[in-house]
Amino acid sequence: MPFLKLTHATSKLALQNPLLKGKNRIGRGAFCVVFDNGSTVLKLTRDQFQYAFYTNSDRPTGVFFPTLTSDFGIVGGTDKYPLYLVEMEKLSVFGRKSKAPLGAWERRQDLISTLDK
């Protein structure tokens, strides 16, 4: 689908938004593109459920969930497939074993070995 490749005319228009123009892409998912914004990231998504998860007032909070900084709403797309833009806290690298929470490294290794079976 052109929206996901950002080759559709309305997607290209969204990329010309002053908030996104000139920003480096640092990641992408099935329905989301992530842009570096210094200490935060800008997420452009067409997934209405992901957008609702980020912006809903009763969304999960805490150390395991990135903090929403700004909700810019619809910035492009079409009536059927709008493109939403949010600004989120930038996630940091989990770190080495010595900096990880107690037991996290072992749980990660157990999960990886389980998935490899």
Provide the sign of the torsion angle of the four alpha carbons 72, 76, 82, 83, taken in this order.
Answer: negative
- Note the pLDDT tens digit of each residue in 58-78: 888 887 788 999 999 999 888
Between 32 and 95, name the one with better pLDDT: 32
pLDDT(100) > 70: no
Note the maximum CA span of the chain: 49
Q: SS3 for 116? A: coil
Q: Domain segments of the chain: what residues?
A: 2-92
pTM: 0.74
CATH fold, domain 2-92, is: Phosphorylase Kinase; domain 1 (3.30.200)
Question: Residues 65, 20: contact at Cβ < 8 Å?
Answer: no
94: its two tokens: 């989990």
